[in-house]
Amino acid sequence: MITNLTEFITEFTKIKEQGWIKTHRSGPTGIGKTLEDLLDIPENNFDEPDFGDYELKSCRINSQSMLTMFTRTPQPARSNTYLRNKYGYSSSAYDNDEKVLHSTLTAARFVPIANTGHSLKIICDENKISIASETEVENVFWDKASLRKAFEKKYKNKFVYAKAESRGSGANEEFYFVDAYEVSGFDYDAFIHLLEQGKIFIDLRIGQYPDGRTHDHGTGFRIRETDQYLLFKNINKIV
């Protein structure tokens, strides 16, 4: 197992020279699992470094897949119930007329909500990130100060980002690892800028329990995996 950045560079260079490598696991997590196996890094789900001071991340260069950076329910209390009742729609997944609300919102444009006639988007001001319809800004928001603390806690480690080309799918997917970057210093201003550009998305995943009560499946802040390294102040190509 590698223990420091110098060893990572040496081993990753060898992996790059191997060319195309078949995935060790089918599905979205296959790239991370494959690279960890090749570097002899044991798989873990803990918020701690994978080797030395570094957490290892990997992404497909040609992928539009998104990663969930963080989940956080909007303020004030019961905001999800308010949104579900006002903008939600009935779903065949349930045998009642209660509403659900599933949508991926962006600051770049208004997003139509199913067949409700409503559209929603994200807007940012000095103190908060809010949800707005085409007619009003709702009192449903995330406080920027608390978000900063949450994200800085989430991204407190140093990271190595490995990029790979991919081909095929499922169990037959293959990766060609080409670049690696050392990144550090989570940049909250960059996060806000990417959000305003429409490169960070907010997933509303508001369902219902069998008795009709609101079930928050986790409101997610998401980013395309190829853009995640842009969240950091210090970006240094190492391979």
- The per-residue pLDDT for range 126-167, each reduced to its tens digit, is 899 999 999 999 999 999 998 888 888 878 778 999 999 999
Residue 51 has pLDDT above 80, yes or no: yes
Cross-strand bridge partners of residue 109: none
Domain that holds residue 210: 68-144+190-224
The CA-atom distances, in angstroms, between 204 and each of 71, 106, 111, 196 are 10, 11, 12, 17
Residues 112 and 162 in one domain: no
Residues 176 and 198 in one domain: no
Q: In this predicted structure, which of 82-86, 163-167, 222-226, 235-239 has the lowest mean pLDDT?
A: 222-226
Residue 197 has pLDDT above 90, yes or no: yes
Q: What is the pLDDT of residue 217?
A: 85
Q: What is the pLDDT of residue 13?
A: 98
Residues 230 and 126 in one domain: no
Residue 133: phi, psi to the nearest 5? -95, -175
d(CA 124, CA 1): 44
Higher pLDDT, residue 154 or 115: 115
CATH at 46: 3.40.210.20
What is the average pLDDT value for the chain, to the nearest integer?
Answer: 91
Per-residue pLDDT band at 46 (split at 50, 70, 90):
low
Residues 81 and 136 in one domain: yes
Q: What is the pLDDT of residue 96?
A: 66
Residues 126 and 44 in one domain: no
Residues 108 and 86 in one domain: yes
